[in-house]
Structure 1
Amino acid sequence: MNQRARIAMPEADVTALIEGSRKLQLATINPDGTPHLVTMYYGLDEGRIAFWTYGKAQKAVNLARDPRVSCLIETGDDYAELRGVLLYGVAKQVGEHERVLEIGLEIARRMTPGVPDADLRPYVELTGRKRIAYVVERTKVVSWDHRRLT
């Protein structure tokens, strides 16, 4: 077995890392073909990564032109502790405003654990007026867990 296969995580571990994290690196494609990379808080929509952004943000402009994305979630400081998931996919824009707010509330919950929904809802409703949301449909997943090398 090669080293890549040895460090690949089983699907259950991939799911646990995605569910247990709050931030990811989101890459979209700029008009000149270069990557546009940003850190995003995200939520989950039936197990799929979901995020929102302002409609005029560069990532939204990029996604309107080309919906392909890469999402990186990684943890660990030392090499022997590194674990990560690189998810390739297509960002599908959510059309219904209520769903945009639901995704926003899910993200807000993950950003501020323990804060009651009643306290988060005014922020979500206010900022949600200018935001659009996306759900990422996976096309490929690459994972690694360097702890498996020992």
Structure 2
Amino acid sequence: MAGNKREKIKMTPEEVGAYLAGNFKVQVATIGKDGEPHLVTMFYALYKGKIAFTTYKASQKVLNLRRNPTMTCLVEDGVEYNELRGVALYGRGIVVEEPGPRSLVGMVVGSRMAGLPVPEMGEPVDPVIAEGIEQALAKRVLIVMEPERITSWDHGKA
């Protein structure tokens, strides 16, 4: 019986893509040096269809990923039980040092964090704003989630 309910509330791959595209906060879990989970919430953008975010090069999550790339991401919403929706992605967090991809994601996330209009990925940003975001990105790296397994639920489908 539980399996039937599980299948009923599972999102299709298209629904998962639309859900991730329509959200911007992700709970990110990495594994600390003693094996404990390290959990933080980050603003993200989709980069080539994958959850991506910038973070300080020296942050705990980067140290953890360099030691062990295992990462889990959770995007969820809803208040009442029949509104609960979410996508959990299990896989690897890839640390990307290249400034190009970091800037693409950084412009989207940085604009959102600053309360400014959020551009589409690759869309031009006001040069003054872009300069400020680039300065902030100088001490950051890009993390891209490479999922190996995805689970999803939408209790509104039940």
TM beyond 0.5: yes
Q: Which runs of 5+ in 1 are unaligned?
A: none
Counterpart residue number, 2:122? none
Counterpart residue number, 1:135? 144
| Shift in Å, 1:68 | 1.2
Read off the aligned partner of 1:147 and give its amino acid letter. Answer: G
Give deviations 1:6-34, integer Å, cap 9, x for gaps: 11111111111100001010000011111
Aligned positions of 1:1-150 closer than 5 A:
2-111=4-113, 112=115, 114=117, 117-118=125-126, 119-149=128-158
- CA distance in 1 between counterparts of 2:85 and 2:116 reads 23
- Output the TM-score relative to the length of structure 2: 0.88
- CA distance in 2 between counterparts of 1:11 and 1:23 reads 19
- Output the TM-score relative to the length of structure 1: 0.92
- CA distance in 1 between counterparts of 2:151 and 2:44 reads 19
* Moved beyond 2 Å, runs of 4+: 108-113
| Shift in Å, 1:97 | 1.7
**RMSD (Å), alpha carbons:** 1.6
Is the partner of 1:2 in helix, strand or coil?
A: helix
Q: Which runs of 5+ in 2 are unaligned?
A: 120-124
Q: Percent identity?
A: 42
| Shift in Å, 1:44 | 1.1
Read off the aligned partner of 2:34 and give its amino acid letter. Answer: D
